[in-house]
Structure 1
Amino acid sequence: MTTPDERDESRAFRLAHVPGVIPDKWVRKWGERVPDVPLQLVRVSAAEAAEHVRDGHVDAVLLRLPTDGTGLHAIPLYTEATVVVVEKEHLLTVADEVSVDDLADDVVLHPHDDTLPWERLPGQPAIARPDTTAGAIELVAAGVGVLVVPQSLARLHHRKSLTYRPLIGTEGLPVPQSQVALAWPEGETTDLMEEFIGIVRGRTVNSTRGRGPTPKQQKSSTSAREQSASTGGKQRSRSGRPGKPGRPGRPGKPGRRGKGGSGGKGGGKGRRP
């Protein structure tokens, strides 16, 4: 019969993420830290992300702020750059970055799932709002207008005929940015949740929070310390040995005297008177 703790340890940790957010590096780290608990990825739309974790369908979610955070804890992780997606032949592509003023004559599409908190959209409004960002990308490719999105979404919906440029604001019209955050239900910060929080925050495996290192990780860490100590001892032993005394130099041989005189070989025989 399994105990509640054993059942909890054997279940998967379910992590949802919105389009464009790539959790691969954290998933790999989870596999190293918590090999006995699989991590299941669930892709959700931006509109349903917060509700998905509130309803208990997943343990945590990587979403974009701002969002309705009722009943949720949220930790901002990083801020995304905002870019404008255009056709490759568009005049805006001649510049390395684009100002909102440069969009004055362009139709700027505004999909219903847009996560950027605009006070006022730049450019000209479209006749109708696309339902999704993917649908807006289709319209950009058709030459209907341009689209402002977080850079990760521009990469997600990449097309050969499209490109993007960083968008900068002005004093009168700042450009909003989205933040990617980790969210989970209030009052449900389990050991596994603490473990994942530690991973995204860069905590070490020996952190006091979370489940702590597994026996295998402890053994590996201990072996590494012992090996380091052993290597250090050998190095100290080698460096502490007294050097061998040098051999005394051999005395030099005296120079040979030349024949017929006190000089060297240059001295010849004397002439008879």
Structure 2
Amino acid sequence: MLVTEREDHLFAQSEYILWENLDRVDVQHTINLELLASPSEVEDYSVAFPFAISDPKAAVEVLGGFMDAQTDRFPGIEHDAFAPRRSIAIHNDAQTISWAAIDSRVVRLREENAGERLAIYANLVNNFPENWNRWERNEGTLDFRFSFTSDEMSFQPAATSRFGWEVNTSPVVRYTWLRSIPAQESFMTVNGDQVVLLALKPMSDRSGVVLRLMNMNPETSAEAQISSSLFDIRSGTNFLGLEKNSVSYDVGENLARVTLAPGVIWTLGFRLPPR
């Protein structure tokens, strides 16, 4: 971990974390809003992520997939700003850098070094003049968190989307009384490189649980393996709208394999075993 503190500076503190045995870098910048004086024109403060990758292309995550930042825009748009869903991929045919933001939802993608580099500028603060209707008093500090990772492979939408989900979804810890059973235990596992778990909730009649899965790859089908000691894995039901249709699974020993079509969201129900 590297922490840099700056006295009387807009970037009051910067924190960089390089994890052991995990290909990921976490970054946090603390912004001191007290140092922003009232301007005469709108000021835009950002932090840059200039990644060293040759022949870069950018894919920006939007609702339901990714867009090509260079081509998938309406003609006539002059600005270089985007509002990514969770993640952005800077990639070429052999390498992909997946970048995700937790607190910043507006970025600019700009070419540098005559197009040889593509940098992400994450917006942190906009400082408005007092006569603007969007003006508000600058008080206190704000934290902005980012993460990025690198893979030696061409762009895989599911991998970048999954990284964005994992960065933005903090682990949930439930405290309990001291007991003789193990201090931690896995109650459910969903394995699948292209599939993410969107939701887990009880059925309306409290007789089971509902899982919502999504294949993040818009081009190919994907398989997910579901295992759990919480519910009966052989009782799976597929929910399509308001209808319930039985679905057959390749069921092993407390293991179900389901296949999702490209880009599909699939809602499944599993019954709880009798007590």
TM range (shorter): under 0.3
Q: Which structure is higher in strand share?
A: 2
Q: Which structure is higher in helix share?
A: 1
Q: TM-score, normalised by structure 1?
A: 0.25
Q: TM-score, normalised by structure 2?
A: 0.25
